[in-house]
Amino acid sequence: MNEMTGDSYVTEDGRTIGGVVMEMKNITLRFGGVVAIKDISFDIRQGEIRAIIGPNGAGKSSMLNVISGFYKPQEGEVWYLGEKRPPMKPYQVARQGIARTFQNIALFEGMSVLDNVMTGRIRHMEAGLLAQAAWKGKAEAEEVANREAVEKIIDFLEIQHIRKTPVGRLPYGLKKRVELARALAAEPSILLLDEPMAGMNVEEKEDMSRFVLDVNDEFGTTIALIEHDMGVVMDLSDRVVVMDYGKKIGDGTPDEVRTNQDVIDAYLGVAHD
Amino acid sequence: MAQSSRAADGFVSIPALLKRNASEFGGRPAYREKEFGIWQSWTWAEAEKEIESLALGLINLGVEEGDFIAIIGRNRPHFYWTFVAAQSVGAIPVPLYQDAAAEEMAYVMAHCGARFAVVEDQEQVDKVIEIQDELHQFEHMIYVDPRGLRKYDHHKLHIFADVQEQGRAAYWEFIEDLKARREKLDYDSICVMLYTSGTTGKPKGVVLSNRNIIESSRSSAEFDDLTRREEVLAYLPMAWVGDFIFSVGQAYWCGFCVNCPESPDTMQTDLREIGPTYYFAPPRVFETQLTNVMIRMEDAGRLKKWLFDVFMAHARKVGPAILDGKPVGLWDRARYALGNLVIYGPLKDTLGFSRVRVGYTAGEAIGPEIFEFYRSLGINLKQLYGQTEASVFITLQPDGEVRNDTVGVAAPGVELKIDDTGEVYYRSPGVFEYYYRNEESTAKTKDADGWVATGDAGFFEEDTGHLRIIDRAKDVGKMADGSLFAPKYVENKLKFFPNILEAVAFGDGREQCTAFINIDLNAVGNWAERNNIGYASYQELAGHPKVLDMMQDHVEEVNRSLAEDSMLSACQIHRFVVLHKELDADDGEITRTRKVRRNIVADKYADIIEALYDGSKEISTTTEVTYEDGRKGSISATLEIRDAKVVPVESRKVAAE
């Protein structure tokens, strides 16, 4: 049932996972003489939660940055929706419907939560600068529609009580949630989460896991996430890519990965003989 | 009011009142709820339609007359509609506390044999599914918020809106049946069943008839001249009788609008936006608000702080007198008016109290400073004394006769008496019918003539005739030398300090009185911040020597004030300990309505109590805690025990009045 084909299948908990939406083919990324990613290939399927894990310095964030267009790999190809993607700037990637959050939160600290989330709607705004300033006709209608979409996300992530609070005044866990809200506001087809649970306590992690699952379930968003916490990864994801020193050492369902000897060695260390 | 004359004119049920409101002033707002950042509203005519389609949907699902329908969720129009829809089809609504753990719900739902439940979201659906196997009669569940529930097995699970839709589709099929069922309702039909929180033993199901609810709502609404133009904010638990009376009984009788907050966390913002004219809150809410104001004033600029201090001092002097319409000099009035412009008005606006005409507090004693603060701002805050068994109202404070230490005079239609042990009894049209499936308790509480024991000890003040409550009658004890021991009275005095969240006093049958104290993390934490005291956890802060010094000051001040009371001077606290954890409803130490369960606390912390009496300086202890998801853990700590100064008083034996 869980085979790697282009066809869709249904998971144990009743979600439909579609065909491949994004494929990384033989990606190699170098910084000078340092090889951050070495010849890695994997794919992401429609509607799945795909995790990238690995010890520190394994190249996980580099991989995410390749997907989001921030780094340009020296070798290899990124295929998106069945087409080879030409080299792109991050904003062009974002316009294609790939949204992300950052490991160390990148919000506008002085702006309210509402305004921050509204910035996520930028790809759904067409009115020009002048029209927006005059706030007439199309610009007005557009803002009302965007505000409605944002309010639904605020409701979804249960952050109504901080709607008007400047982000700078919020605790860490809530900032993470606001960042997720902003990424969701773009209505992405693929959502990239860079360590969404880093630095959280158990309760916050549980909340965040709930939201990730709900986003996937409710909007059918494809999610690719990087995470340190093995427990979280194994519970959340459908398939896992394991990286170590820039190489792919495992790829499969959580159960397959868990029993993979290379993965165990990478995480627990291996005796040198 | 014109309405009162029509009391007996056939408005003998809530659905009948709904019909009257929808036909007489159908265009006025009945419900509002903030959703997606906007206040959505429903007029009485629209509410009637919503309720009717839900009622038809319930018949469609097979609800029979006499069925119990559990309602589990926070205050939302949907659940208020469910109350009335259930009544319309002859079923009995049973609201439950939505934060109750699954096993608590299992007891209540099994006890009433609920066949249906209307719940809010996935969290509640999961809880009911968890306990479903223990509930033999349970059949269908209806939920409001579909999020995360799509994949669930929907054989016996329905979306609220779909049930209404099916009801509308089956209109011609069931409307005659619905009309017939509605016609059958009379003053004796059951209006609602409410489970009491139960400080001891299992919760009891209090059955209230239409007569109870409508008579109580009518007379109390007349007492305060409530009209259809009132605005209330519904934010207190729906399972609590007070919310039922305010948001259903009085709202339907008077025809005023019930506003539901967006989420529990936005309550303060929503309160400000609505600006209710009629408001109820337990003392804790007023206390938290005052603490927040004071904390923020500490951080304000010098000029603002000075203005605040000067005008608040003036308000304390003349504010209550102006509110009560007593003579106040012209100069003082002018200064008060100026204060209103620069301080009181803006402050009331921030708190959401600009339009409050009648405000009530009840459930616990309120601190004199807190009470005075709100009254001096010109907010007509009063106290009432009530019980689920009385459909709330036993005594009320009339305008102009408001005091901190009494609970007022008998509410309209209520008779009061005090027996020789000091326990207060009442009789009124609001007196409950019976405890469901518990004849023994019914007989114990309510005698053949309809007199109900409140379980509280109190007395009438001679010159004013106001009732004063001392304590729970069963908690009032005797110390070893025979003098009166009233733990709650002592605890309340302690809790009046903003730094103390909770206190438990011991002393029944003992030589001396001792106490447990819980610090208020908010207030003490802020104080620690201002005084550069570092702490990593609640436990560390609670055990800090400077915090203990502060608590000692508070305890000694309480002792001085107790020494002045001839009846209770023996209750002075000799030794106390600051607990390393907050007393928590999840651990069963307090009820969901935050009343201390003495026996459980005494059992659980027996080692600490022993240390309080054996003279030791400190005690090492390990305590089990329950997390929100039901898992257990434990924390250990070494607690310092302090001696407090007491004021020597001649010991004398006092007989109860």
Strand partners, B575: B514, B643
Task: Say how far apart CA B396 and CA B223 lie, in whole Å.
Answer: 9
Residue B90 corresponds to which amino acid?
G
| pLDDT classification of B48: cutoffs 50, 70, 90 | very high
Among B33, B34, B36, B123, most A C-beta atoms within 10 A, so best to mutate, is: B36
Tokens representing B120 are 């809010």
| pLDDT classification of A272: cutoffs 50, 70, 90 | low
SS3 state at B407:
coil
pLDDT digits (tens, 9 = 90+) for B101-137: 888 899 999 999 999 999 999 999 999 999 998 898 9
pLDDT at B5 over 80: no
Enclosing H/E stretch for B250: none
Phi and psi torsions of B137, nearest 5°: -90, -10
Superfamily of domain B477-643: ANL, C-terminal domain (3.30.300.30)
Mean pLDDT taken over chain A:
88
pLDDT at B215 over 80: yes
Residue B293 corresponds to which amino acid?
V
Taken in order A74, A76, A80, A84, the sign of the CA dihedral is positive
| B15-31 average pLDDT score | 96
In terms of Cα–Cα distance, which of B418, B450, B419 is closest to B434? B450
Task: Say how far apart CA A157 and CA A165 lie, in whole Å.
Answer: 15
Q: Which of residues 38-97 of B touch A (CB under 8 A)?
A: 38
The size of the A-B interface in CB pairs under 8 A is: 35
Nearest Cβ partner for B263 among A13, A156, A161:
A161
Residue B67 DSSP one-character state? -
| pLDDT classification of A2: cutoffs 50, 70, 90 | very low
Instruction: Judge if B2-272 and B283-472 fold alike in CATH terms.
Output: yes
pLDDT, position B488: 86
Q: Does A165 touch chain B (CB under 8 A)?
A: no
Model pTM? Answer: 0.84
**Contact assignment for B148 to A158 by CB distance below 8 Å:** no
User: Which stretch of A230-244, B434-448, B580-594 has the lowest confidence by average pLDDT?
Assistant: B580-594
Q: Does B265 touch chain A (CB under 8 A)?
A: yes
All CATH 3.40.50.300 domain ranges of chain A, comma separated, are 1-97+188-273
Tokens representing B511 are 């030589």
Contacts of A145 in chain B (CB under 8 A): none
Q: Does A12 touch chain B (CB under 8 A)?
A: no
Compute the nearest-CA separation of A155 from chain B (Å): 6
**Contact assignment for B265 to A161 by CB distance below 8 Å:** yes
| pLDDT classification of B199: cutoffs 50, 70, 90 | low
Q: Does B537 touch chain A (CB under 8 A)?
A: no
Residue B617 DSSP one-character state? S
Please answer whether residues A108 and A115 qualify as being in contact, where contact means their C-beta atoms are separated by less than 8 angstroms. yes
Strand partners, B68: B92
Q: Does B269 touch chain A (CB under 8 A)?
A: yes
pLDDT at B241 over 60: yes
pLDDT, position A271: 65
Contacts of A17 in chain B (CB under 8 A): none
Task: Say how far apart CA A9 and CA A253 lie, in whole Å.
Answer: 14
User: Which stretch of A42-46, A220-224, B474-478 has the lowest confidence by average pLDDT?
Assistant: B474-478
Q: Which of residues 586-625 of B touch A (CB under 8 A)?
A: none
**Contact assignment for B266 to A13 by CB distance below 8 Å:** no
SS3 state at A67:
helix
In terms of Cα–Cα distance, which of A199, A34, A245, A26 is closest to A102? A199
Nearest Cβ partner for B147 among A14, A203, A214:
A214
**Contact assignment for B262 to A160 by CB distance below 8 Å:** yes
DSSP strand E in B234-286: where? 257-260, 278-280
Residue A270 corresponds to which amino acid?
V
Contacts of B263 in chain A (CB under 8 A): 158, 160-161
Nearest Cβ partner for B148 among A151, A154, A217:
A217
pLDDT at B349 over 80: yes
Task: Say how far apart CA B587 and CA B589 lie, in whole Å.
Answer: 5
HEC letters along B366-392: CCHHHHHHHHHCCCCEEEEEEEHHHCE
Task: Say how far apart CA B631 and CA B495 lie, in whole Å.
Answer: 30
Please answer whether residues B74 and B120 qualify as being in contact, where contact means their C-beta atoms are separated by less than 8 angstroms. yes
pLDDT digits (tens, 9 = 90+) for B49-65: 999 999 999 999 999 99
* Maximum distance among all Cα pairs of chain A, rounded to whole angstroms: 74
The CATH number that domain B2-272 falls under is: 3.40.50.12780
> For chain A, percent helix, then strand, then coil, each to nearest 5?
40, 25, 35
Nearest Cβ partner for B36 among A152, A213, A214:
A152
The CATH number that domain A1-97+188-273 falls under is: 3.40.50.300
The structural domains of chain B, with segments of one domain joined by +, span 2-272, 283-472, 477-643
pLDDT, position B498: 84
Q: Does A160 touch chain B (CB under 8 A)?
A: yes
Q: Which of residues 225-264 of B touch A (CB under 8 A)?
A: 262-263
In terms of Cα–Cα distance, which of B651, B355, B235, B634 is closest to B480? B651
**Contact assignment for A163 to B37 by CB distance below 8 Å:** yes
pLDDT digits (tens, 9 = 90+) for A77-92: 999 998 999 888 888 9
Helix (H) and strand (E) counts in chain B: 22, 28
Compute the nearest-CA separation of A33 from chain B (Å): 45
pLDDT, position B650: 60
Superfamily of domain B283-472: ANL, N-terminal domain (3.40.50.12780)
Stronger pLDDT, A8 or B219, i.e. the higher one = B219
